[in-house]
Amino acid sequence: MEYRSLGRTGVQVSCACLGTMTFGWDPDDWGSEEPESVQIAHGAIDLGINFFDTADVYARGVTETIVGKALKGKREGIVLATKCHGKMSDEDPNAWGNTRRHIIEACDASLKRLQTDYIDLYQIHRPQPSVPIDETLRAMDDLVRSGKIRYAGCSTYAGWQAAEAHYVAKMLGVTGFVSEQPPYSLLERRVERELLPFCRTYDWAVIPWSPLAGGQLSGKYLDSKPKGSRYAKSDPRNMISAKSTAVVKKLKKIADSAGLSLTQMSLAWVAGQPGITAPIIGAKSLEQLNESAEACEIKLDKKTLERIDRAVEPESHTINYYTANFGPNERPNV
Give the CATH number of the domain where residue 98 resides: 3.20.20.100
The verdict on residue 193 lying in a domain is yes
**Of how many residues is the chain composed?**
334
Tell me if 318 is assigned to some domain. Answer: no
Torsion of CA 275, 221, 313, 238, to 10 degrees: -100
Q: Encode the chain (334 residues) as per-residue pLDDT tens digits.
A: 999 999 999 999 999 999 999 999 877 777 789 999 999 999 999 999 999 999 999 999 999 999 999 999 999 999 999 999 999 999 999 999 999 999 999 999 999 999 999 999 999 999 999 999 999 999 999 999 999 999 999 999 999 999 999 999 999 999 999 999 999 999 999 999 999 999 999 999 999 999 999 999 999 889 766 666 666 566 656 778 899 999 999 999 999 999 999 999 999 999 999 999 999 999 999 999 999 999 999 999 999 999 999 999 999 999 999 999 999 875 555 4
Question: pTM of this prediction?
Answer: 0.94
Q: What are phi and psi of 81, to 5 degrees?
A: -120, 140
272 within domain boundaries = yes
Is residue 80 domain-resident? Answer: yes
Give Cα separations from 334 to 132, 331 (angstroms).
31, 9
Burial degree of 303 (CB within 10 A; 0-12, 13-18, 19+): exposed
Please state the domain count of the chain. Answer: 1
For the annotated catalytic residues, the residue numbers are: 58
Asked, for residue 134, whether it belongs to a domain, the answer is yes
Domain membership of residue 228 as a residue range:
3-311
Does residue 213 fall inside a structural domain?
yes
Quick check: is 291 in a domain? yes
* Cβ-based neighbours of 289, under 8 Å, separated by 6 or more: 18, 40, 43, 44, 47, 281, 283
CA–CA separation, 248 vs 85, rounded Å? 33
Structural domain contains residue 91: yes
